[in-house]
Amino acid sequence: MPTIQFFLQHCAPALLPLAFSGLAFAAELSGSTMGRKPLMRDFMGINFHTFQVEDPALYAQAVKLARDYHPYAWDIQGDTSVDPPFPSTRQKIKGDTETIDWSQIYGGWVNEGMRVDACLTAFDWVRDHEGFKDFPKDVERYGKVFAQTFGPGGPHPVVEAVEMENEPGSWPTDRYVELFTALATGIRAGNPKMKIATCTMSAETPDQWEKPIQAIEGLEALYDVINMHTYSFAKGGGWPGFERTYPEAPGIRYLQTVDAMLAYRQAHPAMHDKELWVTEFGYDAATPEALKTADPKWIPSTDQQQAQWLVRSFLLFAERDINRAYLYWFDDKDGNSFHGASGITRNGTPKPAFYAVRHLQTALGAYRFDKVVTAQVGEVYAYQFVNDDKHVAWAIWSPTSGKETSKRVIPGAPGKPARAERMAIADGKPEAVVCQVTPAGLDVNVGEDPVFVFFAAKK
């Protein structure tokens, strides 16, 4: 199976993504522009990379949204003035002997019930290694042909949305805006039904990978989605340790930057119809064997933490005015550095995180976030979800790391629990949890693994 090193060889290092505010603030923003919350099955996504995804049916058990890093360089191979031979690449990728047929790759994902978001990237690689014949006209033409070919209603309708680059850190902001404008203009002309997302953006001072959302003010007609990447780095958790912490940790940028973007959007009426997608978040979980050769300063999470923090992140994002969230990454090789162990599978075999995310999809896929039941920082969170038949479920967890399970009484139970189950970390039936409703509320043991409680339907 091709490796990340193969990806780097054919694209560019920049292609690999490197990448608390109060809940009351988030609740205030929730629903301000998006209206009805999405079903969780329409909310949860995963990051893929092209033909490296050998078993899309496996991942479709866990998520229904697929994001792909789609290299522009593969499509044009050295001549930006000529239209790509879509649905295939011009460059021979597989073993340097075979081109890729995007309609087959993306079509395979669609056939498993997934919806595809293609992040168009590697424009900087073309700029630096081959050069554009006529920038930005070449990019605009490419966008038009891509949308005509792969967009809704086209001859190969396998792509629902496209992103205008991933993390364009090597592009000065003004030049990125030029790239964005040309590419988005082409996409709009080629297929106005195709959703257009920005690169990763920030409403605050951007880091080296982001662009400021302020830079595209006035260009609202050219995009539909604000795109963000966020990782729950601990304070001081940059290179070389890249330590990540639990998602609810006070004082980290993880949720703060998302809330800042929500506030910015709310303050700008021209952006009120824009969706917000978090297209990268995730955690490394390597084996002791990998750590033997790792930088001793690198601090990955454990398998259990990766599972907990991914599921809890999905819940935290669902509570906010966010339309989609894509975890990073699908499969790893037990790498010994940042992003090298971020898969929910390893060499195609599920890790605990896979089972946890799949369980979340199975448990709440047909439900929408409804309300915060309680949010006691450092103690207990409980969120209510409701399906279209008005059945109610609660997700309950301790928003901490390294804290023991303890008994909690949560007021406001909407009825008697029909069943309760703890987040799965292995195949098979999830662990049943004993809970009961008392005059004081729902009595349940709560820990850092979320518990899902399903209440009996009211007659």
Give the whole-angstrom CA distance, residue 191 versus residue 199.
19
Look up the pTM and report it. 0.93
234-241 contact pairs (CB < 8 A, 24+): 237/299, 239/338, 240/295, 240/297, 240/298, 241/297, 241/298, 241/299
How much is the pLDDT for 401? Answer: 98
Q: Give, in order, the Cα–Cα distances in Å from 326 to each of 60, 160, 231.
A: 13, 15, 12
Q: What top-level class would CATH report for the domain 40-369?
A: alpha beta
Q: Where are the domains of the chain?
A: 40-369, 370-455
Tokens of 425: 């970390």
Closest by alpha carbon to 159, among 110, 218, 200?
110
pLDDT at residue 32, rounded to an integer = 52
How far is C-alpha 122 from the geometric centre of its chain's CA atoms?
20
Round to whole Å and give the CA distance between 387 and 120: 35
Q: What is the mean pLDDT of each run of 10 residues along the chain (459 residues)?
A: 38 36 42 79 99 98 99 95 97 91 99 99 96 97 99 99 98 98 99 99 97 99 99 88 96 98 98 99 97 94 99 99 99 96 99 99 99 98 98 99 97 98 99 97 98 91
Give the DSSP letter string of 8-47.
HHHS-GGGS------HHHHHHHTTTTT-SPPBGGGTEEEE
Q: Give the distance from CA 190 to its chain's centroid.
A: 26
Q: Cα–chain-centroid distance for residue 264?
A: 21
Nearest to 27 by CA among 271, 383, 276: 383
Task: Report the relative pairing of strands 211-212 and 195-202 from DSSP bridges.
Answer: parallel
Same fold flag, 40-369 and 370-455: no
Identify the H or E element spanning 146: helix 137-150
DSSP 343-404: -SEETTEEPHHHHHHHHHHHHHTTEEEEEEEEEETTTEEEEEEEETT--EEEEEE--SSS--
The end-to-end CA distance of the chain, in Å, is 54
List alpha helices for 268-336, DSSP H: 288-291, 303-319
- Decide: helix, strand or coil at residue 407: strand
207 burial class (0-12, 13-18, 19+ CB within 10 angstroms)? middle
Q: What H or E segment, with its residue span, contains residue 277?
A: strand 275-281
Q: What is the pLDDT at residue 2?
A: 36
What tokens does 98 get?
Answer: 């075979």
Do 305 and 248 form a contact (C-beta atoms < 8 A)? no
What does the block give as tokens for 157? 């309708």
Say what the pLDDT of residue 206 is: 96
CATH number of 370-455: 2.60.40
Phi, psi of 238 (to 5 degrees): -90, -160
Q: How far apart are CA 295 and CA 282, in angstroms?
A: 20
Nearest Cα to Cα of residue 118 among 323, 326, 321, 318: 326
Shortest CA distance to 298 belongs to which of 354, 352, 341? Answer: 341
Instruction: Indicate the DSSP class of residue 448.
Output: S
Q: Which two tokens stand for residue 448?
A: 């850092």
Residue 331: strand, helix, or coil = strand
Token look-up 């709560």 returns 446
Contacts of 34 (CB under 8 A, 6+ apart): 275, 321, 323
Using DSSP bridges, classify how beta strands 367-376 and 435-438 pair: parallel, antiparallel or unpaired.
unpaired
> What are the C-alpha distances in Å from 279 to residues 48, 152, 317, 392, 426?
11, 21, 11, 28, 26
